[in-house]
Amino acid sequence: MKEGFRQSMAWLHTWAGLVFGWLLFAIFLTGTLSYFKAEINHWSQPEIPSRALNSAASLDLAQRYLQTHAAGAGSWFIDLPSEREPELSVSWRPAGGGRGDSTQKVLDPATGSELQARDSRGGDFFYRFHFQLQMPHPWGRWLSTFCALMMFVGLITGIITHKKIFKEFFTFRPGKAQRSWLDGHNAIGVLVLPFHLMISYSSLVIFMALVMPASIAVSYNNDTRAFFSDVFGIPQSVKATGKAAEPLPLSTLYAKVQEQVPGARIAWVEVQNPGDENARVRVTRYSGDRIAHLRGGGWLFDGVSGTHLSSDFADTTPMLISGGFYGLHLGEFAGPVLRWLYFFFGLAGTAVIGTGLVMWLGKRQLKHAKSGVQPFELRLVEVLNIASMSGLILAVAGFFWANRLIPAFQEGRADAEINTFFLIWGLSLLHALLRPGRKAWGEQLAVAAVFYLALPLINAWTTGQGLNHSIRVGDWSMAGFDLTALGCGLFLYWAARKMLLPPVVAPKRAPKVAKAAALIESEVK
Amino acid sequence: MLAITLFGFAGFAGLCLSMERHYSDLLGHKATPRRLRGLRIGGWLLLVVALWLAVLKSGWAMGLVELFAVLMAGLCLWVFVLPYRPKLLLVLAAASVVLGPFSALGWI
């Protein structure tokens, strides 16, 4: 019975992994990029200069701008710059308006003047794609959440299937074909398991209303708003009286917040009914100041008298649990070191999926190696593997190229960037269809290597903010992006070389010598 | 965070060496059962110290996050570099044991 159980788990692991692996690879890779969403945003809009942070001054500048340009609006929103992203953005919407009715402008945080930045989704594109898959609402969210569930299933079944989880805990044997792939798959899976489990389980928590709507509907009598308010917190709103009143400068309220919590970083300020007697100012703390990610938490002030009305940091247990998982998933609290580790663990998750897909195919291809003829289904998996992995890597680079090469103020350029991404992804599928497997891998990886290695050059050429400039002025978000692109390019070059050179033969050793060396090695052991 | 990393890395190196196969692969001779037990106990103790340092520095919530992050990173380094540069890793592990306490005291 026990063996039967393990076998059925292995079956589930194999097939759930194959069917959802391609999409999971894309979800993990774009999710990993999202840990540097702010940096990618900054890189995508090089017109926004990096300035010394001064939240109080920026707030007053934003307020002045909004008073002249959006005096009659129902609410104002101010998104303050952070160490990672220099953008000060303001938006407003008419009373009773929804999200779609808002107008957004980008300001220079030091002068308050309007900035003309190129229209680009930047890091937000990858972030959104990561859980919406560029599909209409709610299908993308639903599908990506289901993929997360399958990832969780894959992890659990993987643990059950893995016979020697402790005995081979430290084991990785390179240079042994299928054996090495399995070792690598197991090692990255097991060593980074806490991250994998956290990331897939927390995504289910984030979208729990999608995953388990029935239990929520029953417990809350179909009042999902009450559920969200309990679990995540939702701010209340007040009505305007219609009588005008002189508002306080926002920096005064900022100072009050600093008095209460010295050093608190402020991310977001919302003014309801600006200019009205009933103006309310909600100051939201940067969610990276703590691990738990809570919506609607912050200080509420009377915008006219400056009276502190409430601070709602409702630390109820359900909010802390769900907010804790939410925060762990997003990693907003992470400083530079921890953020890089998040990035690498995200890549590790991507690699677990990728190695799994490669192994599924490799194992089955071995059976047909002698005849040289591949059955249709294996060829299909091969093409999808190539397009979903190296094709996606290529498409990401294409997005960044488009960001630099499409004229900065062309109409509809943000959409053109996204179209470039999908166009290149589609072309990679076509290319994978036309070329034999190993060649297709190698060629796509080689092109990707060139794409990434050239990114810093294109950046320097089109914006004048290349590495020589960004390092000198200490703009580490910009420099970090370029350096990471270089690193990715080198890695892809290495991978492409491996694929394009004839297999098995090590570059410097003839096959016979290699065999002999292996023998000697095994004798020593 | 450096001290936590050093203690955690050394701890897992100890646990790895406490496995007979890895011990003889890495050090070239067979280990006595007593030495293996010593390494296992030592390894766990170092990990406990890393946990204690992490919680002391950043509290339970942030401490555990940091601890897990550096442990996983150290483990990946150990396991994936081991087949290529075993000597280098042994030196790193030894250096971690020596430098860990100094780092914990804030001297480096």
Structure confidence at residue A85 (pLDDT): 85
Would you say residue A324 lies in a domain? no
A349-407: per-residue pLDDT in tens?
999 999 999 999 999 998 888 777 889 999 999 999 999 999 999 999 999 999 999 99
Tell me the helix, strand and coil percentages in chain A, rounded to 5: 60, 10, 30
* In chain B, residues 11-30 whose CB comes closer than 8 Å to chain A: 16, 19, 22, 25
Count: domains in chain A: 3
Structure confidence at residue B59 (pLDDT): 92
Contact B72 A187 (CB under 8 A): no
Distance separating alpha carbons of residues A305 and A301, to the nearest angstrom: 8
Structure confidence at residue A72 (pLDDT): 84
Structure confidence at residue A310 (pLDDT): 79
Bridge-based pairing state of the strands A298-302 and A266-272? unpaired
Contact B82 A170 (CB under 8 A): yes
Summary mean pLDDT of chain A: 88
Same domain, A425 and A480: yes
Residue B98 to chain A, least CA–CA distance (Å): 23
A191 touches chain B (CB under 8 A): yes
Torsion, Cα of B28, B33, B34, B37 (10° steps): 90
Taking CA atoms, what residue in B is nearest to A289? B62
As a whole number, mean pLDDT of residues A122-149 equals 94
Residue B69 to chain A, least CA–CA distance (Å): 7
Contact A170 B73 (CB under 8 A): no
B44 touches chain A (CB under 8 A): no
As a whole number, mean pLDDT of residues A330-337 equals 93
Distance separating alpha carbons of residues A36 and A131, to the nearest angstrom: 16
Same domain, A363 and A376: no
Bridge-based pairing state of the strands A298-302 and A280-285? antiparallel
Contact B70 A174 (CB under 8 A): no
Residue A6 to chain B, least CA–CA distance (Å): 26
When mean pLDDT is compared across A68-77, A138-147, A292-301, B21-30, the lowest value belongs to: A292-301
Task: Yes or no: say if B92 and B12 are a contact pair by the CB < 8 Å rule.
Answer: no
Would you say residue A110 lies in a domain? yes
Summary mean pLDDT of chain B: 95
Bridge-based pairing state of the strands A88-93 and A103-107? antiparallel
A491 touches chain B (CB under 8 A): no
Distance separating alpha carbons of residues A53 and A253, to the nearest angstrom: 18
Contact A172 B65 (CB under 8 A): no
B79 contacts on A by Cβ (under 8 Å): 170-172, 187, 191
Taking CA atoms, what residue in B is nearest to A198? B65
Helices (H) and strands (E) in chain A, counts: 20, 7
* Comparison of pLDDT for A146 and A313, the residue scoring more: A146
A187 touches chain B (CB under 8 A): yes
When mean pLDDT is compared across A40-44, A265-269, A402-406, A485-489, the lowest value belongs to: A265-269
B17-58: per-residue pLDDT in tens?
999 999 999 999 999 999 999 999 999 999 999 999 999 999
Same domain, A425 and A489: yes
Same domain, A105 and A129: no
3-state secondary structure of A483: helix
Distance separating alpha carbons of residues A121 and A205, to the nearest angstrom: 26
The string over A167-177, giving b where at least 16 C-beta atoms fall within 10 Å of a residue's C-beta and e elsewhere, is ebbbbbeeeee
Would you say residue A240 lies in a domain? yes
Same domain, A37 and A56: no
**Count of Cβ atoms closer than 10 Å to residue A112 Cβ:** 17
DSSP label of A288: G
Contact A341 B72 (CB under 8 A): yes
Would you say residue A319 lies in a domain? no
Same domain, A433 and A404: yes
Residue B82 to chain A, least CA–CA distance (Å): 8
pLDDT above 50 (res A303): yes
DSSP alpha helix (H) spans, A435-465: 437-463
pLDDT above 70 (res A522): no
Task: Yes or no: say if A160 and A215 are a contact pair by the CB < 8 Å rule.
Answer: no
Same domain, A399 and A267: no
pLDDT above 50 (res A58): yes
Would you say residue A5 lies in a domain? yes
Q: Domain residues for B54?
A: 2-104
Same domain, A286 and A307: yes
Torsion, Cα of A473, A476, A478, A480 (10° steps): 140
ipTM of the predicted structure?
Answer: 0.96
Count: domains in chain B: 1
The helix or strand, by DSSP H or E, that contains position A390, with its residue range, turns out to be none
- Banded model confidence at residue A14, pLDDT cuts 50, 70, 90: very high
- pTM of the predicted model as reported, rounded to 2 decimal places: 0.90
Residue A347 to chain B, least CA–CA distance (Å): 12
Distance separating alpha carbons of residues B94 and A439, to the nearest angstrom: 44
Same domain, A148 and A278: no
B9 contacts on A by Cβ (under 8 Å): none
* In chain A, residues 322-351 whose CB comes closer than 8 Å to chain B: 324, 328, 333, 337-338, 341-342, 344-345, 348
A177-212: per-residue pLDDT in tens?
889 999 999 999 999 999 999 999 999 999 888 877
Residue B2 to chain A, least CA–CA distance (Å): 11
A170 touches chain B (CB under 8 A): yes
Mutate to test the interface with B, among A170, A345, A355, A494 (most CBs of B within 10 A): A170
Q: Domain residues for A460?
A: 371-525
- Banded model confidence at residue A506, pLDDT cuts 50, 70, 90: very low
Distance separating alpha carbons of residues A16 and A10, to the nearest angstrom: 10
* In chain B, residues 46-85 whose CB comes closer than 8 Å to chain A: 61-62, 65-66, 68-70, 72-73, 75-76, 78-80, 82-84
